[in-house]
Structure 1
Amino acid sequence: MGVTETWPATPADYSSGEDVGAAGILRGGGEKTKMGDNVASGDAHSAKNGELQRQLSGRHLNFIAIGGTIGTGFFLGTGTALVKAGPAGCLISYIFVGSILWSVMVCLGEMATYIPTAGAFSAYATRFVDPSLGFAVGWLYWFGWAITYALSLVAAGLIIQYWKPSVNIGIVIAVFWVVFTLVNYLPVGIYGELEMWLSSLKVITIVGFIIFGICVAAGAGQEGVLGFKYWRDPGAFNEHLVTGGIGQFVGFWSVMIQASVSYQGAELVGVGAGEARDPRKTVPQAIRVTYWGIMFLFVATMWLITMVVPSNDPNLLNDSSNASASPLVIAAHRAGVKVLPDIINAVLLTAVLSAANSNVYSGSRILLALAEDGQAPAIFKKTNRHGIPTVAVAATAAFGLLGFLNLSSDGGKVFNWLLNISGVAGLTTWASTCLSHMGFLRALKAQGIPRSDLPYVSQFQPYTAIYGLFFNVLIMLTQGFTVFIDWNTSDFFAAYISLILFAVLWAGHKLWHRQPRVNPATADLVRGRYDLHEERAAADGVV
């Protein structure tokens, strides 16, 4: 067993000129190992102190994020979006929200390449803005992914009922809960490979639909050449809830809120940064590929849907949770292709199973980060010899059992309320990421570290962060605005319970601990930093 000693995590320790090599590598516990320890003893020390292992490649990070983003909301939700806003309003909404996502991703990129840590969002908010903000964001984000795990299991049962209506959803929930909980106890490299293949099926399907949509729009279907026919009739913009220009704007804004939920999951590349190999190279590349890949798939698919499916098609109002509600299937029916529904339903199944896989992974890493910052019980820091946070995985997976609430009507109401919390949790995370980046820039300036020293430098800062923060907060505050048009008290609390919970978490932590906002001059820019010392040690086979 290697001998350890406390390592004072201050910038001065790195500027002393001492070539510490592998011994100067900071881990989550703020310790260094003395020179002379071999690889085996280092691994044992890692397992004892609850450290993650860097086994994820860039492609793993890409597909973890894509798998968490492209789910049933994308395959099914685009239909209701088309009904609300019309083809032009729908397309503009998705592009605009994509620009907000871009601001979040580049802010995340600068921080995650300099300090790659699991559960990045709560950790950065705690370090650079306010510990109470990190506490509230972390716990809300964890709960969002934990409850989404339950949603994914329920959705899997509904999709299987498309082929066999007599199947008991409870059995499906139980089987998949066991499978994907166990998968998350495998070494993270195996998890990354599995997620890559599951996500690949979704990407292949979307690319196939893009090719199919182009052919149908060009006249390959039984309706002849379509082009932009449906943009002219029934029209480019639809009215929603009210009439006139205001009604068209309401439709546009409703879809923008829906699009922001659909894009959530792209930020998971930051969650995996703490387990990425050579994060200086893999994380920036993963962020670029993930963002542009998701943007292309979302916008191209939405654009073609608006061309091949009219916004007044009655099948778009189908509230089913299987393939029959998908605009991709509706487009196939209108074109005279009969085999596609079964294919799309199979892809939907892989989509929700991939999402379930990502839900447990991301939730457990957020819980680990909270524990490392002293904002969750220390037991959640415990890992096995493969670097898997065993207790955090178990706690996150346990929430998947809430899916059984959906088997009864009364329990279903509770379940839907819980899902409303998860929908806004992603927006609070996006907003806090932009705010954390602003604090990160202030800390760099106060401690005399030029941005040019960062492994990844984005453009137009801090204006990009300000842009993302403003619109994320605006969408959060207005995401339930339709209840004010047609007032319903229950719907109001269902829409805003997540913001109420966030405020309670923040205020409760602030009143209990009374910690001040972070001083940029003393902000922690060292702990967990992946620098040239670690690259050298990794090259020598020490880490």
Structure 2
Amino acid sequence: MSDGVFTEKTGPPSPAVGPASAMYGNNSSGDVEIGEAGLERSLSSRHLQFIAIGGTIGTGIFIGLGNALATAGPVSLLIAFAFIGSVVFSVMVSLGEMAAFMPVAGSFTIYATRLVDPALGFSMGWMYWFSWAITYALELTAAGLIIEYWLPNLNIAVWIAVFWFIFSAVNFLPVRWFAEIEMWFSSIKVVTVMGFIIFAICVNAGVGDEGYIGFKYWHHPGPFAEYMVEGATGKFVGFWAVLVTAAFTFQGAELVGVGAGETKNPEKAIPSAIRWTFWGIFVLFLLTVFFVGINLPYDLEDLGTDATDASASPLVLIAKRAGVPVLAHIINAVLLTAVLTAANSNVYSSSRILVALGEEGLAPAFVKRTNRYGTPYVSVALCSLMGLLGFLNLSANGEKAFTWLLNISSTSAIITWAGINVCHIRFLAITKAQGIDRKGLPYRAPWQPWLSWYGLFMNTLIVLTSGFTVFIQWDTSDFFVYYISVILWVVLYAGYKLICRSKVMPLLEADVSIGKGVRYEMRA
């Protein structure tokens, strides 16, 4: 092959399952594998894991845990995280089975379009895109607020501008470079959480000013907190309130599937990434929640603050009570890396979802354009511009507008989780109708179809009850704050159905061969 010339190798035209070499081709050391959308297939399993970890482990676990503990108490909080973990597991294995068999960028958007209904792909894709694009602006703002902990007199606009430039530029790099940067940033968070767990064990055992703690805070003030109402009902309300919080904390785990179209050897890399990402996040979250719950009483006044820096972190509160105040600065530094790596993931995920929308004709075709490194530079540029909305926070009226925009993304990921379960239930029906033996798939999700139905039911229930407290103490403004994302999804779905007259894809016509054709380009 001469420079600039590529040959195309396509997998089997029928949806029959074959070995990796038949589905994806054999890439020689001198070639660069290019996916169907022109994206470079250079991500490994560890890259996928850390991209997902980068989008998941963030301020929710480092800061939001404190308010959740005050709301429900330690045992309710632990049960809530374990319960949501089972829901996330149903989503991850469902996504893993489809992504390993059909590895495409922005996977679940395309699955919804090809396997279910273009209206579902349109509503899921644009909701999910907006969720991550607007969160980029949030993370840039959060980075400025965290630095204020050390430099209170410097305007956060400076930091928004600096970090916007840096992380927008990083996303224009070849994806393998971006993934390496993301991996090292995410590693800092993982090491910090593991270090905190060891520290918390020592503090609980008596290494600190409080002496031996054990489970005394489970006895007084107790394992369950009452919330909004008294008695057993109040304890259940507290549990359900933090159930929603736990779901928000797990958001980002599904990012493993977003990078499927840029993964080399996807039939092996994706299942491995799915397993390691879920169990890694699940175990770290549960251990963190457990040790925060036994080392801090839920009625501690400092847990209910609205601060966004290290002063609100339960990890810091444990350190201060143990007589190690210097840890506040370390945690603040880790918080900074947490929001920055999340910002990095935000641009990556939103740009790949935009590419997927373009592939399906649900967005302008020009968003699919890639440079010679396989980077979708148009999508990256458009998604990066969304980060500039962070400057809205610099004025009172702008802050209110930004908050409303952010509310749209509040339950978008959970709506996406439900959509992934729908896609997988449909995928199971399609494989059966088309005579595809699941035993030959690269990865098979366990306990099907019951696990996917369980995930769909619970995700739908969580979305519908995400603002249930507003019905206990009615407030019209709060109602729209909680449910604006649901309303927008319904508008997008119904609007597309009415205008484009889309129909549910017949089982025998659904295309499950997507993602199998690749092409190789020899670079000089």
CA RMSD of aligned residues (A): 2.6
With over 3 angstroms needed to count, the CA separation of the structure-2 counterparts of 1:352 and 1:3, relative to structure 1, is: closer
Contact 2:37 2:359 in 1 (8 A): no
Contact 2:106 2:355 in 1 (8 A): yes
With over 3 angstroms needed to count, the CA separation of the structure-2 counterparts of 1:375 and 1:216, relative to structure 1, is: same
With over 3 angstroms needed to count, the CA separation of the structure-2 counterparts of 1:250 and 1:2, relative to structure 1, is: same
2:225 aligns with 238
Distance in 1 (CA, whole Å) between partners of 2:258 and 2:346 is 11
Distance in 2 (CA, whole Å) between partners of 1:319 and 1:2 is 57
Distance in 1 (CA, whole Å) between partners of 2:43 and 2:465 is 38
The one-letter code of the counterpart of 1:468 is G
Q: Is 1:323 the counterpart of 2:310 in the alignment?
A: yes
Q: Is 1:441 the counterpart of 2:428 in the alignment?
A: yes
Distance in 2 (CA, whole Å) between partners of 1:5 and 1:291 is 35
The one-letter code of the counterpart of 2:265 is D
1:60 aligns with 47
Q: Report deviation, 1:25.
A: 6.1
Normalised TM-score (structure 2)? 0.95
Matches within 5 A, 1:332-371: 332-371=319-358
Per-residue CA shift, 1:254-283, capped at 9, x if unaligned?
000000000000110101111111111111
Per-residue CA shift, 1:144-166, capped at 9, x if unaligned?
00000000000000000000101
The one-letter code of the counterpart of 1:315 is D
Q: Is 1:450 the counterpart of 2:437 in the alignment?
A: yes
The one-letter code of the counterpart of 2:504 is R
Which stretch shows the higher mean deviation, 356-365 or 268-277? 268-277
Distance in 2 (CA, whole Å) between partners of 1:275 and 1:112 is 11
Q: Is 1:70 the counterpart of 2:57 in the alignment?
A: yes
2:510 aligns with 523
Contact 2:11 2:24 in 1 (8 A): no
Q: Report deviation, 1:135.
A: 0.5
Per-residue CA shift, 1:451-500, capped at 9, x if unaligned?
10110012110000000000000000000111111111111111111011
Distance in 1 (CA, whole Å) between partners of 2:317 and 2:87 is 30
1:31 aligns with none
Distance in 2 (CA, whole Å) between partners of 1:85 and 1:380 is 45
The one-letter code of the counterpart of 1:375 is L
Q: Report deviation, 1:529.
A: 2.5
* Displaced runs of 4 or more, over 2 A: 1-10, 37-40
- Extract unaligned runs of 5+ from structure 1: 27-34
Matches within 5 A, 1:132-171: 132-171=119-158
Contact 1:368 1:381 in 2 (8 A): yes
Distance in 1 (CA, whole Å) between partners of 2:515 and 2:9 is 15
With over 3 angstroms needed to count, the CA separation of the structure-2 counterparts of 1:491 and 1:391, relative to structure 1, is: same
- Equivalent residue for 1:392, pick from 374, 379, 396: 379
The one-letter code of the counterpart of 1:397 is S
1:459 aligns with 446
Q: Is 1:199 the counterpart of 2:186 in the alignment?
A: yes
1:100 aligns with 87
- Equivalent residue for 1:293, pick from 280, 294, 304: 280
The one-letter code of the counterpart of 2:344 is N
Q: Report deviation, 1:130.
A: 1.0
- Equivalent residue for 1:217, pick from 204, 213, 231: 204
Distance in 2 (CA, whole Å) between partners of 1:361 and 1:163 is 29
Q: Is 1:511 the counterpart of 2:514 in the alignment?
A: no
Contact 1:66 1:294 in 2 (8 A): yes
1:11 aligns with 14
With over 3 angstroms needed to count, the CA separation of the structure-2 counterparts of 1:302 and 1:418, relative to structure 1, is: same
With over 3 angstroms needed to count, the CA separation of the structure-2 counterparts of 1:38 and 1:349, relative to structure 1, is: closer
Q: Report deviation, 1:6.
A: 12
The one-letter code of the counterpart of 2:507 is P
Contact 2:49 2:256 in 1 (8 A): yes
What SS does structure 1 have at the residue aligned with 2:446?
coil
The one-letter code of the counterpart of 1:390 is Y
Distance in 2 (CA, whole Å) between partners of 1:193 and 1:372 is 27
What SS does structure 2 have at the residue aligned with 1:292?
helix
Contact 1:9 1:527 in 2 (8 A): no
Distance in 2 (CA, whole Å) between partners of 1:404 and 1:286 is 36
Aligned residue pair count: 520
Contact 1:97 1:260 in 2 (8 A): yes
2:459 aligns with 472
Q: Is 1:303 the counterpart of 2:306 in the alignment?
A: no
The one-letter code of the counterpart of 1:124 is Y
Distance in 1 (CA, whole Å) between partners of 2:293 and 2:8 is 62
The one-letter code of the counterpart of 1:193 is E
1:278 aligns with 265
Contact 1:67 1:354 in 2 (8 A): yes
Distance in 1 (CA, whole Å) between partners of 2:426 and 2:60 is 33
